[in-house]
Chain A
Amino acid sequence: MRIGIDVGGTNTDAVVMDGKTVVATTKTPTTENITDGIVTALSAVVTESGLDVENLDGVMIGTTHFTNAMVERRRLEQTACIRLGLPATVCLPPLVDWPDDIADALGRHTYLGHGGHEFDGREISAFDRNEIRDIVDSIQSKGINAIAISSVFSPVNAEFEEQTAETVLEVMPEANITLSSTIGRIGLLERENAAVMNACLRSLAVSTVSGFKKALTEMNITAPFFISQNDGTLMNADFAADYPVLTFASGPTNSMRGAAFLSDLKDAIVVDVGGTTTDVGVLQQGFPRVAATAVSIGGVRTNFRMPDTLSIGLGGGSIVGQDPMTIGPQSVGFQLTEKAQVFGGDVLTATDIAVAGGRVVVGDKTLVSDLEANLVENVNQKIQEMVSVAVDRMKTSAALVPAVIVGGGSILVQDHIEGTSNILKPENYSVANAIGAAIAQVGGETDRVFSLAEMSRDEALAQAKNEATERAVSAGANADTIEIVDVEEVPLAYLPGNATRIMVKAVGDLAGGI
């Protein structure tokens, strides 16, 4: 048995799962101190399922807490950033593209040192331990404990980042250090930005994870617990306290993974219809397809592997205009049950159209009986068109694929979408997030440049797959269950030796028989 929890900005959802069966679900408001909301949700599902917590194999938690802290600039710690690459990179120092308010919040403590590598592995300059010691003295004298370390081409060779960390720890054994090579890929500014965000969230992460632990202790739960990452895999609690940025965008990922589970499909389009927006994503081999372009979190550019979702302004609360006919992007949002006409309000919403069209029974249908049939039909058609255009944009090939509809606004979508083979609206769609967390696996990935002049393409691929597999195992995956779920090759222009960037991702079930 396992419990999945989704701690969102508005609601905390929890589910109890026995193997592949959903035993109990609940939805409760998220609380200011996260612990209380989790305890409430846990109590509800434990009571409903009659579960003996002794029999729990694990608790999986998905949370938007760290993303929100970044976006709202709350509880961020003063952070230093050491970048190795001198004499390169001077004209664009760390934090150069951050919004002022957030760079100020972190204190702008940036340092450049010698080191770094070329694309082909040569050193840009030699590592200088004395230089790093001087930097560490300066950081220590400012009383800063959070430190991000980046080095040019560290995804190819991380030795200088590691040597810098050793030097820091000699002087400041308690320092909280984040190496850019452990969280990002090629693209120095974006990777370094992610490392700095991680460093400034570390103390919040430690207290949040201990809040989670406290909630579980209050419920007498002793089973191990895990936090879900943005790629749909799990990390254990200690790892999560070290790498809070890896939770960014885990919400959409969990909802898509939940959709995959509920529908029993590995390749499908997922349409998550909420109150204000509809997010469309693509499941490939059971995992969300990741975005190829830079993603910004609270105005800070990163190159995380985020799920590639298309968000359109259509949801159950979308406001419908009649002359000319418009649907969204304005929405009555969480006030749907006060403002929509079927609930006695005076705003015409997409939900009212669905009720008038007879596709769903909520509120009082007689309150929308005087809507012109023509209008209802036209709006309805427009809604289907919006969904099918979004689905079409996200498809990876011209072939027909199934679509899974989840989320509270699912009623808006008819039983056919152009370009899809069939439509599934699974049970328990409204807690797909928590289910996605409950079923998550463990993964590992590699992303670096290989020179195909020195080895064959097959050898390079095999080496990349081995690296990804090793990382998955060291993250806690059972080696026998590991599958390679994603391989991407990008030939690089203007580089000699047939340089090719290869990205591989491996996942497996959590070791320990869950």
Chain B
Amino acid sequence: MRILEESNIEDIALGAAVLGTGGGGDPYIGMLMARRAIRDYGPVELYSLDEFHDDDLIVPTAMMGAPTVMVEKMPNGDDIINAFRSIGKYIGKPIKATMSIEAGGLNSVVPIYVAARERLPMVDCDGMGRAFPELQMVTHTIYGISSTPFAMSDERGNTVLMETISNKWTETFARSVTVNMGAMSMIALYAATVSELKEASIQGTMTKAETIGRTIRAARQQDEDPVNTVRESVGGYLVFKGKISDVERRTEAGFAKGDAYIEGIDTYIGSQLQLSFQNEHLAARIDGEFRVTVPDLIVLLDVDTGEPVTTEAMRYGYRVAVIAIPCDQKWRGEKGLELVGPRFFGYDVDYVPVEQRFSNP
């Protein structure tokens, strides 16, 4: 167990932006919520799964909806607590802790708010190890854990509870209720016991996010090469360095999709990297050949500051380093690749783990 103070939150949020692989929502609002809750209710205890009893019940919490709405109609605060508590009421068992379902982006820090207000611990694990666009895309799905009972609440006091036959159906219904709630809802889902989570979740991801954030901050202060320090701290591979020469964007079925083209600099001169995205970065092709794809993490870093570059912020002239981070092993089996592999997102190519294609100097 260790204590999360206000001062830890900024690092977690910065690291979560890296793990967000270009998407996941801006952690700024979530960071403010978490910092304020810690100031008002006291610090949060972060535990590893081993420190709980196997039959303890854990319920993740998150925000769902359009990032543009989240920065305008901010939550009430009671809404996410309502969603969280209704799961406990429905199951009829006390909830022992909350956790993040998505370590990348905004939802890394939102559960810290819940933990502080409920004076409950937070677990150092999540269901993605990164960010993905839909709620069935979690390692829990691979291991047969249901997303329901699923609770979603709005600021008015409405709570919708649902039971579904699959996690994909939960996504479908939840997305339309979210629109009625004003394109944003607060959700509690994937209730599971500690023994289930030991198998199904990705462990240590809060600490990983915090370490990445701290590394970037320290590298900046010490004038080190932040890209290289980040790469080392995440066990990643340098894929490319270049300058964004074009970004094409389109909206399909509510998702922000597109491709960015990056012209090589330094030792990559003469090569071009094509980066395809759908909310998050999904695939990188160098000179026409797939080199990195989901579920491995593709991260764009500003070469000078090490700051992660989101899909929305990409534009001509940015000098970026493309880093690939191996995803958790859980994503690499048949079921994981069915959920979030390159074919699911429409790329007709087999997934090849990044470490088989790249090596570090």
Contacts and interface: CB of A to CB of B under 8 A. Distances in A.
A189 B71 contact: yes
B316 A494 contact: no
Nearest to A394: B317
Contacts of B155: 87-90, 124
> Which of A88, A116, A152 neighbours the largest number of chain B CB atoms within 10 Å of its CB?
A88
A514 to B, nearest CB: 36
A68 to B, nearest CB: 27
A446 to B, nearest CB: 17
B73 A186 contact: no
Contacts of A449: 68
B221 to A, nearest CB: 15
Given A88-B155, A186-B68, A491 B243 contact: no
A493 B67 contact: yes
B66 A493 contact: yes
Interface in B91-126: 113
Interface in B175-231: 175, 179, 182-183
A492 B66 contact: yes
Nearest to B33: A91
Contacts of A501: 68
A396 B69 CA distance: 29
A251 interface: no
B68 A89 contact: no
Contacts of A36: none
B36 A91 contact: yes
A495 B183 contact: yes
Given A87-B156, A493-B279, A494-B183, A119 B72 contact: yes
A188 B71 contact: yes
A116 B73 contact: yes
Chain A interface bracket (under 10, 10 to 19, 20 to 34, 35 or more)? 35 or more
Contacts of B316: 395-398
B76 interface: yes
B65 interface: yes
Nearest to A493: B256
A152 B70 CA distance: 11
Interface string A484-500: 00000011111110101
A92 B155 CA distance: 13
B313 A292 contact: yes
Contacts of B243: 392
B251 interface: yes
Contacts of A90: 75-78, 155
Interface in A326-369: none
Contact of B72 (A188, A397, A398): A188
A169 to B, nearest CB: 26
A321 interface: no
B15 to A, nearest CB: 19
Q: Which 4 A-B pairs have the closest CB atoms?
A: A91-B77, A491-B251, A494-B66, A88-B155
